[in-house]
Amino acid sequence: MKINSVYDCSIIEINKHQNEKGNITVIENGLTVDFDVNRIYYLYDVPGGESRGGHAHKELKQLIIAASGSFNVVLDDGRTKRTFTLNRPYQGLLVVPGIWRELNDFSSGSVCLVLASEHYSESDYLRDYTEFLIYKTDKTQL
C-alpha cells in the first residue's frame, strides 16, 4: 500500500492572465487539480504570531493558496518535515492525505484560500499527533 510522504506534496503553478490593469488566476474543476473540488474555504484575520492547522486528514486532498499576503505551511509525514512559503496567488500547495500540517507566519492581511476534495467531516481529522503517528505506522503495516 502506498504511504503518502511530504514528497508527494508540491507547489503547482496555477496560471496567471496578466495585463496592465491587473491579473486573473483561474481555477477550473477537473483541470487545475486532480480532484473534484467539493468545498472552498478561506482563512483570514489571523492574528500576528498565531498558527493554524495542527492536524492531518485521512482522505482529504487540498490545494492551499495564498490569495493575498504570505504564510508558511509546515508539512510532516511522521518522518520528514518540509516547509513551504506561499506568497503568490498563482501558486498552490497540493497536500495529499495523511500529512500533518501547520500554518504559521501569516503576514498582516493575508488570506489562505483552500480548495478541498471533500465536504467538511470531523471524522476525517487526526487532531492528536501521537494518534497520527500510530495511524501512519498502521498504514505501513497493511
**Chosen residue from 7, 41, 42, 44 binding ligand TYD by CB under 6 A:** 41
β-pairing verdict for 52-57 and 100-104: antiparallel
- List the grid coordinates of 22: 491587473
User: Catalytic annotation on 119?
Assistant: no
Closest CA to 55 of 138, 119, 111, 135: 135
| Least distance between ligand TYD and beta carbon 71 (Å) | 11
Among residue numbers 54 through 73, which ones bind ligand TYD (CB under 6 A)?
55
94 binds ligand TYD (CB under 6 A): no
Among 8, 27, 53, 135, indicate the residue that binds ligand TYD (CB under 6 A).
53
- As a whole number of angstroms, the distance between CA 25 and CA 23 comes to 7
CA 67 to chain centre: 13
Contact 132, 58 (CB under 8 A): no
**Does residue 3 belong to the site contacting ligand TYD (CB under 6 A)?**
no
Q: Count residues contacting ligand TYD (CB under 6 A)?
A: 7
Contact in structure between 55 and 125 (CB atoms under 8 Å): yes
Stretch that binds ligand TYD, among 2-10, 23-31, 52-60, 65-73 (CB under 6 A): 52-60
Residue positions annotated with a catalytic role: 55
Note the residues at the interface with ligand TYD (CB under 6 A): 39, 41, 43, 52-53, 55, 120
